[in-house]
Amino acid sequence: MRIIFLGTNGWYDTKETGSTICTLIETQEFYIILDAGNGIYKADRYIKRDKPVYLFISHFHIDHIEGLHILTKFKFKSLTIYGQKGTKKALKAFLNKKFSVPIENLPYPAKVLEFKPGWNKKPFDFQALKLVHASSCYGFRFKIEGKSLAYCIDTGLCNNAITLGKNADLLISECAFESGHADPKWPHLNPELAAKLGKKAGAKKQVLTHFDAYAYPALKQREKAQKIAKSIFNKCSIAKDNLEIIL
Residue 78 belongs to domain with CATH number: 3.60.15.10
Strand residues in the chain grouped as ranges (E): 2-7, 9-10, 22-26, 31-34, 53-56, 79-83, 110-114, 118-120, 126-130, 138-144, 147-152, 170-174, 206-209, 211-212, 236-238, 244-246
- Domain containing 26 equals 2-246
Which helix (H) or strand (E) covers residue 90, if one does? helix 87-94
Helix, strand, coil percentages (3-state) for the chain, rounded to 5, are 25, 30, 45
Angle of helix 219-232 relative to helix 191-201, nearest 10 degrees? 40
**Distance, CA of 62 to CA of 73 (rounded, Å):** 20
Which residue, among 227, 162, 153, 225, has the nearest Cα to 198 in the 3D structure?
Answer: 162
**Distance, CA of 119 to CA of 134 (rounded, Å):** 24
- Determine contact, residues 226/8, Cβ cutoff 8 Å: no
What per-residue confidence (pLDDT) applies to 98?
A: 87
What per-residue confidence (pLDDT) applies to 56?
A: 98
Strand residues in 40-89 grouped as ranges (E): 53-56, 79-83
Task: Quote the pTM value.
Answer: 0.98
SS3 38: helix
Cis peptide before 123 (omega within 30 of 0): yes
What per-residue confidence (pLDDT) applies to 55?
A: 98
What domain count does the chain have? 1
CA-derived radius of gyration, the chain:
17
Residues of the chain where predicted confidence (pLDDT) is lower than 70: none
What per-residue confidence (pLDDT) applies to 71?
A: 98
What per-residue confidence (pLDDT) applies to 133?
A: 97
Q: What is the DSSP pairing of strand 138-144 with strand 126-130?
A: antiparallel
**Distance, CA of 43 to CA of 128 (rounded, Å):** 24
